[in-house]
Structure 1
Amino acid sequence: MTRLGLIVGLLLLAGCGDESVPVQGYAEGDYLRIGLPTAGQVAEIKVGRGGWVEPGDPLFSLDRGAEQAAVAEAQARLEQARHQRDNLLTGKRRLELRAIEAQRAQADADLRLAEIQVRRQEALIRTETTSQASLDNARAIVERDRARVGELSAQLAFAREGGRSSEILAAEAAVGAAQAALDQALVRLRLRSAEAPQAARVEDVLFRPGETVAAGQPVVSLLPPGNILVRFYLHPDQVGRIGQGSVVALSCTGCAEGQTATVSFIAREASYVPPILYSRDNKDKLAFLVEARPTASAERLRPGQPVSVTLPPNGPAK
């Protein structure tokens, strides 16, 4: 006879006798099956079966070579974008500024010399000791040197004030994009390792280093103490004695005395528990599944452990 068949038989006997007779149930666990959203080869398992983990403790990791390289590349691109932005914000480097200043000083000197030559040619033209062509050439040199001084002055002003506002905005946007790419790369790297979401017992380790897991496939199974519950089945004549939130008494081998549990689920429909088959002769063997969560520490309860459940005498909680 299976465990469920035995349970149903016992609860049916209980339903026909004294209301204080306990109902047989068993402990069950809501496991946390920890996996990762990406596939890969298991690199390291950091826990063992039966161990205890605290929130944030590392559980396992997958191979991370590609993700680490992507982070390094994103960091380099971010540094490059920042340097380009800083160059626009601070203008030309000091040595470049000095070079432009020297070129403008030379152009100023050339312009002054050209202006002197023009004045000389104008004096000579009045004494008819030079030609008009020489004077025109001197004046053209002045205009050329004056244009050169203006060009270098503009270059120096631009170098001192930095890049144009539109170029600076574009550089800022490039830095933001590079930072976002780095953040994404870091998220992908973090998703190659798993941590414990809460304090729990390690119930099973499903893979070993070197094995390949699919995306979302569990690698470690955890059971927090708060995820242990007690399941039992009630005869239709008994189920009316409890309701959502009712408190039932528990007893089991090795458990502390006076332990209780709060009913968290009652099946809306009765079912035939296998291997009982439907027929007119066993219609009175319908059973309702009930789940209750221990109100105190349930560390001593183990999934599959038989538990005796005593129903409250005064009917369901209001």
Structure 2
Amino acid sequence: MRMLRQGGARLTTMVLALLLAACGQDDDRTYQGYVEGEYLYLAAPSAGYLQTLNTARGSRVRAGAALFAIAPDPERQGLEEAEARVQSAEEKLQNLKEPRRPPEIAAVEAQLQSAEAALRLAETQLRQQRALARQGFISQARLDEAIAAREQAAAQADALRQQLASARITLGRPPEVRSAEAELEAARALAAQKRWQLEKKSVRAPAGGEIVETYYRPGEWVAAGQPVASLLPDDRRRIRFFVPETVVAQLRPGRKVDVACDGCPNPLSATVTFIAAQAEYTPPVIYSRGSREKLVFRVEAVPTPQQATVLRPGLPVDVRLSGG
């Protein structure tokens, strides 16, 4: 009887141990994964010779740090030409908006007075020629010449009157002003385009991170849009791991997970940001403990910015889901 009691106690202890172990596995589940980096390939939009390379591969940079520059000679010359066109258009528009200067108006008035005097003389000569023609002293051709001279003098005087009236207008000439304004806007747009092209010849770091690789050396020709350096920002490192379909329903974006890796001083913290909508087979880089393939769901988590720098792309990690 005593032996039966001892055997029953041992059996109860084993059952409790199995139950606790099962609970522990459910509350503390660890899955294998790896670190993945999202690289930025930095390039200039226009071609040229690489003038400077301010950073070496493997170095860390801050956001806004100068990385490299392409020789900007053609773009600088184009900007100078565009800015000269802007200045010329501004002066032309200002000249049209301002009233004529007094010396210019005085010159037109003097020309008008001379034209009116010539008109009076032509009219006098025409009257004389008509009187002579009635008496038969001159031919019809001479009379026609006098008529034409008078009409020419009248037209010249009328043109100068119109010119003087236009010169005295203080608000400028609306059609010409609108045309000059359109030319100025076009010149400014061209200058802005040339300025943008010149600024983009110098490339700065869009975010803080690590320069992974450089592809050119100073003096080499770089084609338009060809990457000169690749940057791994600190906020572009991802923890990618895989969980079975029995666990994926318990995960939600925003859940915290613990990450451990060989050589990491302390467990790291990450936040789940992505859960795949479809299942897939276990990838070759993940070695399951069983011999059969299992369907798993890909999950991605983002580490904290302070801890991201210790995670190298491709590094194997263990992700633990603890608690709810």
Q: Same fold (TM over 0.5)?
A: yes
Aligned to 2:219: 210
- How many residues align structurally? 280
**Which amino acid in structure 2 is aligned with residue 196 of structure 1?**
A
Q: Report SS of the residue matched to 1:161.
A: coil
**Does residue 178 of structure 1 match 2:187?**
yes
Other-structure match for 2:235: 226
Amino acid at match of 2:279: E
- Paired residue type of 2:213: D
Q: What is the deviation of 1:247?
A: 1.8
Aligned to 1:167: 176
Q: How does 1:1-318 map to 2 (within 5 A)?
A: 18=25, 20=28, 22-104=30-112, 151-161=159-169, 164-236=173-245, 238-239=247-248, 242-253=251-262, 255=264, 257=266, 259-267=268-276, 268-274=278-284, 283-295=292-304, 297=306, 298-314=308-324
Q: For residues 160 and 273 of structure 1, do their structure 2 counterparts lie closer, same or farther at Cα, with a shift above 3 Å needed?
A: same
Following superposition, the deviation at residue 168 of structure 1 comes to 1.9
* CA–CA separation in structure 1 for the residues paired with 2:183 and 2:103: 27
**How far apart are the structure 1 equivalents of 2:252 and 2:156?**
96
Q: Deviation string for 1:115-153 (max 9, x for gaps)?
A: xx99xx9xxxxxxxxx9x9xxxxxx99999887666544
Superposed displacement of residue 36, structure 1:
3.1
What does the per-residue CA deviation read over 1:67-101, in whole Å, with 9 as the maximum and x for residues that have no partner?
22221221222222222222222244554333224
Compute the TM-score of the two structures, normalised by the length of structure 1. 0.69
Q: Which residue of 1 aligns with 2:19?
A: none
- Indicate the larger mover: 234-243 or 171-180: 234-243
In structure 2, list runs of 5 or more residues that go unmatched.
1-21, 129-134, 138-146
The secondary structure found in structure 1 opposite 2:105 is helix
Kindly provide the CA deviation profile for residues 8-38 of structure 1, in whole angstroms up to 9, marking residues without a partner as x: xxxxxxx9x9454643333222122222333
* 1:90 alignment partner AA: E
Aligned-residue offset at 1:300: 2.3
Structure 2 Cα separation of the partners of residues 288 and 172 of structure 1: 62
Cα RMSD between the aligned structures? 4.0
SS of aligned partner of 2:180: helix
Identity in percent: 39
Q: Describe the shift of the 1:237–1:104 C-alpha distance in structure 2 as closer, same or farther (beyond 3 A).
A: closer
In structure 2, the residue corresponding to 1:204 is in which secondary structure? strand
